[in-house]
Amino acid sequence: MKQSNKATRGIKRNHVIIGVLAAIGFSIAFYTCNIGFDKKEAAKNEITPLTKHWEKAIPHQEIPVGLTSISAESCGACHQEIYQEWKQSTHAVAFQDLQFQAEWKKDDILTCLNCHTPLQNQQEFIVKGLINGDYKTPLKEPNPRFDKKLQLESITCATCHVRGGNVIGTIGTINAPHKTVKDPEFLSEKLCVSCHNVIDELNPVLVCTFETGDEWENNWAKKSGKTCISCHMPEIERPVSTGMKKQLSHFHNFPGSGIPKFFDTEAKKLESLEIEESSIKEMYLVGETIDYVLKLKNSFAGHSVPTGDPERFFVITFRLMDGHGKMIKEVEHRIGEEWQWYPVAKKLSDNNLKPLEERVYNFKYDIKKQGMLTFTVEIAKHRMTEENAKYNGILGKYPLSIEVFKKQYCIKTE
Ligand code: HEC
Ligand code: HEC
Ligand code: HEC
Ligand code: HEC
Ligand code: HEC
C-alpha cells in the first residue's frame, strides 16, 4: 500500500466520537469536532456500506472444539516446526512492521487492518460502514471481543486455517485432537490472491495496487500447474505434529524477496532471476574496449519481479575503478515502477520484468591508459527508497535492501 507523502500533511480530521455514535445508533447525525462543519452539513452525511471483500474483517472466529485457543502460539505446542517457520515469516509481523505502523497511523485507516490483522478478533473496532464513503471516517464501534495478543500475531494460523469452528486442512486427517474439515479449494491460491491482488482507489491519493494474482493468471507458471503455494510453500516430508509419522507437509516461512524486516535477522529468499554474463579478459590493451553484457531473465517467478508493493525495485550497478579506488565510470539501471502520488496517485512507468522476460544491459569502456582496473557488477533488491524511509521516520531502523548478486573483476591494461 502506498500513500501520498504530501497529501496527508495538514489534512483536517473528522474526529468522530464513538461513544456518542454507539449510543444513538448510526441513522442520526454524529458529533464532530472538525472546524467549519456545521449541523446543516452534518445532516448531509451518508453511510456508505462496505461492499468489497477487503473492506471487511474476516468475521469473528470461535475456538474449534478440542482446542483452548486460536493463537499461533497455542497451535505451536503441537505443530512446532510449522510454528517456528511461520514466526520468521513476514506474515507474522505484517502488523508490527515499522513501515506499516508509520503509514496507517497517519490517518488511522482501519481498512488497512483487513489484510494485516484480518480476523475481527484481532481488531479493536467493528467497522459498519464509511461516513460519506471516506476511509478516514469509518462508522465504528468498540469490539468487546478484541484480543490484543492475537492482534500481534498479524497474519496468523487462524487467518488461513480457522473458519466456522473448524480447523481447515487439505489432508483429511483423522488423527487431530481438534475438529477438522478438508477443503483444498479454500486453502488454494485463491486464499493468497484475496490479499495479494487488489487494484483499487481508496481516495485520489491513496491506492491499492497489488497485481500478483493477475500477473500469475496468464503465464507459464499457471499453465504448468505452479501456484503461489507450490513456489512459496515448498513441500517437505516430515511429521506435521509432534510424535506423528512423517507425511507430506509444506514449508510455512513464505519466502519471497529475502529482504528482512529487522537488522539482526535473515529472510529466506526465492531466486527469480537467471543471470548470464559475457566474459571479461584478464588483460586489455590500450585502445581496446571492455564490452560487457549482463542478461537478466525472470525465469523462476510466476509473476513480474518485483511484484506487489509498487515501491520495490532492483538496481543494477556497473562500476569501473582505477588502481587507487577512484571511480572511472559508474552506470545504474533500475527495474521497478515509478509513481506520482500527488495531487492524484498515478503510475508513471513500469519496467518490471514480466514472467520469462529477458533484459540485456551493456557496459562499454575504451581503455585509455595502462594500469590496474577493478570492474564491479552488483544487483540489489530494494524494499523502498531512502527518501520514503526518511519520510516514514524509519531510516536507519529498517533494512531497506539486500544484495542479490555481486561480481568483481581485476583487469590489467597495457
Ligand atoms: C490476509 C491477507 C493475506 C493472505 C491470505 C496471504 N498473504 Fe501473503 N502477505 C500479506 C501481507 C500483508 C504481506 C506483507 C507483510 C509485510 O511485509 O509486513 C504478505 C507477504 C507475503 C510474502 C513475502 C513478501 C516478501 O518478500 O517480503 C509472500 C511470499 C507471501 N505473502 C505469499 C503468500 C502466499 C503464498 C499466500 C497463500 C498461501 C499468502 N501470502 C496469503 C497478506 C496476505
Ligand atoms: C494438542 C495438539 C494440537 C494442537 C494444539 C493443534 N493441533 Fe492441529 N493437528 C494436530 C494433530 C495430531 C494433527 C494430525 C496430524 C497427522 O495427521 O499426522 C493435526 C492436524 C492439523 C491440520 C491438518 C488437518 C488436515 O486434515 O489437513 C491442520 C491444518 C492443523 N492441525 C492446524 C492447526 C491449527 C491452526 C491449530 C491452532 C489453532 C492447531 N492445529 C492446534 C495436533 C494439534
Ligand atoms: C497464509 C496462509 C497460512 C498461514 C498463515 C498458515 N498456514 Fe498452514 N497451510 C496453509 C496452506 C495453503 C496449507 C496447505 C497446502 C497444501 O496442501 O497445498 C497449509 C497446511 C498446513 C498443515 C498441514 C500440513 C502441511 O504442512 O501441509 C498444517 C498442520 C498447518 N498448515 C498448520 C499451520 C499452523 C500451525 C500455522 C501457524 C503457525 C499455519 N499453518 C499458518 C496456509 C497457511
Ligand atoms: C513459479 C514460482 C512462483 C509462483 C507460481 C509464484 N511466485 Fe511469488 N515469487 C517467486 C519468486 C522466485 C520470488 C522472488 C522474487 C525476487 O525477489 O527475485 C517471488 C516473490 C514474491 C513476493 C515478494 C514480492 C517482491 O517482488 O519482492 C510476493 C508477495 C509473492 N511472490 C507472492 C506470490 C503470490 C501471491 C503468488 C500466487 C498468485 C505467487 N507469488 C506465485 C516465485 C513464484
Ligand atoms: C487487500 C489487502 C491489503 C490491504 C487492504 C492493505 N494491504 Fe498492505 N500489504 C498487502 C500485501 C499483500 C502486502 C505484501 C505486498 C508484497 O510484498 O508484494 C502488503 C504490504 C504492505 C507493507 C509492506 C511493504 C513492504 O515493502 O514490505 C506496508 C507498509 C503496507 N502494506 C501498508 C498498508 C497500509 C498503510 C494499508 C492501508 C492504507 C494497507 N497496507 C492495506 C495487502 C494489503
Q: Render each residue's pLDDT in the chain as its tens digit; 414 residues.
A: 444 433 332 222 222 222 222 322 232 223 222 333 444 444 578 999 999 999 999 999 999 999 999 999 999 999 999 999 999 999 999 999 999 999 998 888 999 999 999 999 999 999 999 999 999 999 999 999 999 999 999 999 999 999 999 999 999 999 999 999 999 999 999 999 999 999 888 887 788 888 999 999 989 999 999 999 999 999 999 999 999 999 999 999 999 999 999 988 889 999 999 999 999 999 999 999 999 999 999 999 999 999 999 999 999 999 999 999 999 999 999 999 999 888 888 899 999 999 999 999 999 999 999 999 999 999 999 999 999 999 999 999 999 999 999 999 999 999
Strands ordered across the beta sheet of 180-182: 162-163, 166-169, 180-182
- Which residues pair with residue 197 across a beta bridge? 211
Q: Which pLDDT value is given to residue 207?
A: 83
Q: Which pLDDT value is given to residue 73?
A: 98
What is the residue type of 5?
Answer: N
The rounded distance, in Å, linking the Cα atoms of 301 and 313 is: 15
**CATH domain 273-413 topology:** Immunoglobulin-like (2.60.40)
Cell triple for residue 328? 572511472
Choice from 51, 58, 100, 303 to test ligand 5 binding pocket (greatest atom count within 8 A of CB): 100
Nearest residue CA, atom 43 of ligand 2?
78
Ligand nearest the Cα of residue 119 is: 1
Nearest residue CA, atom 24 of ligand 5?
309
Q: Which pLDDT value is given to residue 334?
A: 98
Q: Which pLDDT value is given to residue 287?
A: 96
Buried b (16+ CB within 10 A) or exposed e, 369-380: eeeebebebbbb
Nearest residue CA, atom 10 of ligand 4?
301
β pairing state of 283-284 and 401-413: parallel
Q: Which pLDDT value is given to residue 43?
A: 54
Of all atoms in ligand 2, which is nearest to the CA of residue 67? 5
Q: Indicate if ligand 2 lies below 6 Å from the C-beta of 250.
A: no
Q: Backbone phi, then psi, for 369, in 5-degree steps? A: -145, 170
Nearest residue CA, atom 17 of ligand 4?
257
CA of 308 to the centre of ligand 4 (A): 9
Question: How would DSSP label each residue in 129-140?
Answer: EEETT-TTSEEE
Name the segment(s) of the chain with CATH classification 2.60.40.2550.
273-413
The rounded distance, in Å, linking the Cα atoms of 384 and 399 is: 10
Residues sharing a CB contact under 8 Å with residue 332, sequence separation 6 or more, in sequence order: 315, 316, 317, 318
| Segments in 256-304 forming alpha helices (H) | none
Closest residue by Cα to residue 380 from 333, 340, 338: 333
**379 touches 401 (CB < 8 A):** no
- For residue 98, give the H/E element and its range: helix 98-107
Closest residue by Cα to residue 328 from 380, 375, 379, 279: 375
Q: Indicate if ligand 2 lies below 6 Å from the C-beta of 82.
A: no
Q: Which pLDDT value is given to residue 107?
A: 84
Residues sharing a CB contact under 8 Å with residue 355, sequence separation 6 or more, in sequence order: 215, 219, 220, 221, 298, 301, 302, 303, 304
CA of 196 to the centre of ligand 1 (A): 7
| Segments in 258-323 forming alpha helices (H) | none
- For residue 359, give the H/E element and its range: strand 358-366
- SS3 of residue 83 by DSSP: helix
CB-count exposure of residue 250 (10 Å: 0-12, 13-18, 19+):
middle
Q: Which long-range contacts (CB under 8 A, 24 or more apart) does 122-125 make?
A: 122/57, 122/95, 122/146, 122/147, 122/150, 122/151, 122/153, 122/156, 123/57, 123/151, 124/151, 125/18
